[in-house]
Chains A and B, each alone.
Chain A
Amino acid sequence: NAGVMQNPRHLVRRRGQEARLRCSPMKGHSHVYWYRQLPEEGLKFMVYLQKENIIDESGMPKERFSAEFPKEGPSILRIQQVVRGDSAAYFCASSPPGTEDEKLFFGSGTQLSVL
Chain B
Amino acid sequence: KQEVTQIPAALSVPEGENLVLNCSFTDSAIYNLQWFRQDPGKGLTSLLLIQSSQREQTSGRLNASLDKSSGRSTLYIAASQPGDSATYLCAVGAQKLVFGQGTRLTINP
A binding-site residues for B, Cβ under 8 Å: 4, 6, 31, 33, 35, 41-45, 48, 55-56, 58-59, 91, 93, 95, 100-109, 111
> How many Å lie between the Cα of A109 and that of B51 in the bound state?
26
Cross-chain contact A105 with B46 (CB below 8 angstroms): yes
Return chain A residues, CB-CB under 8 Å to B96: 33, 45, 48, 56, 58-59
Chain A residues with Cβ below 8 Å from B34 are 103-104
Tell me, yes or no, whether B44 is within 8 Å of chain A by CB. yes
Which B75-97 residues have a C-beta within 8 angstroms of A?
89, 91, 94-97
Cross-chain contact of A41 among B41, B91, B95, B101 (Cβ < 8 A): B101
Interface SS of chain A: helix, strand, loop or mixed?
A: strand
Contact-residue size bin, chain B (C-beta under 8 Å from the other chain): 20 to 34
Q: Which residues of B contact A107 (CB under 8 A)?
A: 43
Which B residue sits closest to A103, measured CB to CB? B46
Contact B97 A100 (CB under 8 A): no
Closest chain B CB from A78 CB (angstroms): 21
Asked if A100 and B46 sit within 8 Å, CB to CB, the answer is: no
A6 to chain B, nearest CB (A): 8
State A35–B97 Cα separation when bound (angstroms).
9
Interface positions, chain B 19-62, Cβ under 8 Å from A, are 31-32, 34, 36, 41-46, 49, 51
Contact, CB under 8 Å: A108 / B95: no
Q: Are B99 and A43 in contact (CB under 8 A)?
A: yes
